[in-house]
Amino acid sequence: MTSIRDEITEAALKPTVDIGWLRVNATPLIKELEKTAGQWIAAYTGFLLDNTTREIANIEHFINEVNLGTLDPPKTADKKADKERLMRVMTHLRDVKMIKDRTLEEIEPMKQAVMLLKKHASSLPKEARMMDEDFLVKLENAKTALVEVSERALGPTKEAILPLQTAEAKDIKTRLRGFTAKVGEYRLEFLANCPYHVTASSPEIIAKAYDTINAYYVKTGELEDEARELNNLETLFDMQKSSYKQLKECKTELCLLKQLWDLVSLIDFQFEAWKLTLWDKIDTENLMQLIREMQTKQCNPQAPANKEIKSWKAFVGLNDRVKNMNTILPLISQLHSKFMQERHWKKLMVFTRQ
């Protein structure tokens, strides 16, 4: 952008241009272009300044937090307050391990940003130009302080709490075993009670299916919150992270169940609407075309959207109802024929015992 501004400035040396017999005065245009270029340069350098200031403040805040949080680790974890202090110290150790290397790598690019700010100092406010050297000093100090606080946190502090960490890890493993068993029991309950196997359909059955899905969505969310809390503890105490595959399967299948019962609700609603059509208003050709579309698209077991649900009894039951309607509609079409006479209806009544 500065090179573009320089080109505009050079063009300002010759503000008039002759095009044949026409002389063009470009001074107003050049001034607007210089103004626009200056605004873009100010926006970019302003962003660099704000971002660098914020990043330095974040690093300093992190160093202060770790310093204060690891200064006096607990000697025991018998009391609740001591256990909470241990957790805070462990949290700081985890954060140091996760953030230290990445932050050190980011300091060099921040220095380059400061040097770029110095290069374009004329575009910055006076107080910002005075901060350039201060930024470089702060970055060097932050780098040194981060290395020192990391070495202390991951060295003496970690060694000091190691016995407490080991004892607490045993309690956490007990909690993990209990939660794993809880998730296994929940999965069995989920498979038994969720509306996979409901083959019938009515407004009441659909409403009950939705209520069940909603109830188990809430329960699954509560277990996911507990799983995240335990995963956090596993990370804090350098333990292998549990995946709780059964819980993920429940969440995935809840979404599929919602999709399935939306489809059941939609098609059953259509069928009920068709039943209210007056006899002389029935358009069987149109209804048969709609049924064919249902069979090839919405209810097609081979459709990608139905890949996971095609073997569920609720989906099979829906398909059976669609097939049944596909059988009925041609019969209605024949009965709807203008060639049907009174004697035909009487024979039909005898045959159906109506």
- Per-residue pLDDT tens for 123-137? 555 555 445 557 788
Residue 16 pairs with which residues in a beta bridge? 25
Residues of the chain with pLDDT under 50: 1, 129-130
Which pLDDT score, from 0 to 100, does residue 37 have? 75
How far is C-alpha 310 from the geometric centre of its chain's CA atoms?
27
Contacts of 178 (CB under 8 A, 6+ apart): none
Sign of dihedral through CA atoms 135, 137, 143, 145?
A: negative
Q: What is the rounded CA–CA span in Å between residue 183 and residue 69?
A: 35
Q: What is the rounded CA–CA span in Å between residue 63 and residue 150?
A: 9
Which pLDDT score, from 0 to 100, does residue 336 have? 66
Count of C-beta atoms within a 10 Å radius of residue 290 = 16
Which pLDDT score, from 0 to 100, does residue 348 have? 65
Identify the CA nearest to 149 among candidates 213, 197, 104, 111. 104
Which pLDDT score, from 0 to 100, does residue 351 have? 67
Contact 216, 208 (CB under 8 A): no
Which pLDDT score, from 0 to 100, does residue 204 have? 93
